[in-house]
């Protein structure tokens, strides 16, 4: 097998069509998802991804098909069955199958899917070069703390970035900087590492949590006014697939060098992932 698909308790490959048309994940986006990275067939920060998945399912009242132990065992078996050593595992749990109707039964049987994929993680050159962002209005729903599969607003904004020759989109809500289309956002000012606090406006990033821990008492979790962007000493984003990624430009503004705080956190996170 080149990749492996887990579907409701059995293993196959992604060549097999398994999703039924009346699954609520397909019809209503009634599902949550998770993605973790693996290196040398070893999952990175699996406990954090499990907690975020479990919290998301609880928040929208979908029955969790796993315990912490059975989840870890399932993910280990996926990696054992996967031929390649490095990549990602995508996980999705929907409320399940049922007649298409907004009302749903109280105790539906969830649909649980997970599959492995090769992934091209950033090399040293890209980590040193950094990326460019463009700004866009944040039009997402007001439960961004749930890692829902409802990603249309994110996808449309990220497409704008791609068409503008940028790598990622920075979502702005009024005058407040929230986060990026698929990553957490940080600025550095006078040695302080600043990021949006955890609330319904942003996703609780697993990599974000580790970077905050690495930065220690230098972190301020508060809202960032859009006018602070021009005066920031350093800017970086974090995600499972990018790690700590420097930002060298936003829109067509001035380019900025990669700063020492970003480089330190990038190096320390890379070391922690390898461990």
Q: Which of 68, 74, 65 is nearest to 48 (CA)?
A: 68
Concatenate the DSSP letters of all residues of 236-253 into one string. EEEETTTEEEEEEEETTS
Distance CA 171, CA 140 (A): 9
Domains of the chain (ranges; CATH) run 5-117 (3.30.470.10), 124-274 (3.20.10.10)
Phi/psi for 228 (5° steps) reads -80, -15
pLDDT digits (tens, 9 = 90+) for 124-151: 999 999 999 999 999 999 999 999 999 9
Angle between helix axes 260-274 and 206-215 (nearest 10 degrees) is: 120
Q: Is the pLDDT of residue 275 over 90?
A: no
- Residue 177 Cα distances to 20, 65, 137, 185, 197, angstroms: 39, 35, 10, 9, 11
pLDDT digits (tens, 9 = 90+) for 203-241: 999 999 999 999 999 999 999 999 999 999 999 999 999
Q: Give the catalytic positions in this structure.
A: 147
Its sign, for the CA torsion 140, 249, 246, 41, is positive
> The whole model's pTM is what?
0.95
């Amino acid at each position: 097998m080149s990749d492996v698909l887990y579907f409701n308790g059995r293993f196959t490959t992604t060549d097999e069509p398994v999703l039924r048309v009346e699954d609520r994940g397909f019809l209503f986006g009634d599902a949550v998802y998770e993605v973790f990275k693996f290196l040398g067939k070893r999952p990175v920060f699996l406990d954090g991804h499990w907690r975020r998945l479990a919290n998301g399912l609880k928040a929208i009242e979908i029955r969790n098909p796993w315990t912490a132990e059975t989840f870890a065992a399932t993910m280990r078996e996926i990696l054992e069955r996967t031929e390649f050593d490095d990549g990602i595992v995508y996980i999705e749990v929907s409320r399940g199958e049922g007649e298409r109707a907004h009302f749903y039964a109280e105790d539906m049987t969830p649909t649980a899917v997970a599959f492995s994929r090769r992934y091209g993680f950033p090399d040293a050159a890209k980590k040193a070069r950094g990326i460019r962002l463009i700004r866009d209005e944040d039009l997402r729903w007001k439960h961004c703390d749930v890692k829902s599969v409802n990603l249309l607003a994110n996808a449309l904004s990220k497409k704008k970035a791609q068409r503008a020759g940028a790598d990622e989109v920075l979502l702005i809500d009024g005058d407040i900087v929230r986060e990026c289309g698929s990553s957490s956002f940080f600025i550095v000012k006078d040695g302080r590492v600043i990021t949006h606090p955890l609330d319904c406006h942003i996703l609780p990033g697993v990599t974000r949590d580790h970077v905050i821990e690495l930065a220690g008492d230098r972190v301020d979790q508060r809202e960032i006014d859009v006018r602070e962007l021009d005066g920031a000493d350093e800017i970086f984003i974090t995600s499972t697939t990018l790690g700590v990624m420097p930002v060298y430009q936003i829109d067509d503004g001035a380019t900025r060098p990669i700063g020492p705080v970003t480089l330190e956190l990038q190096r320390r996170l890379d070391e922690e992932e390898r461990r």
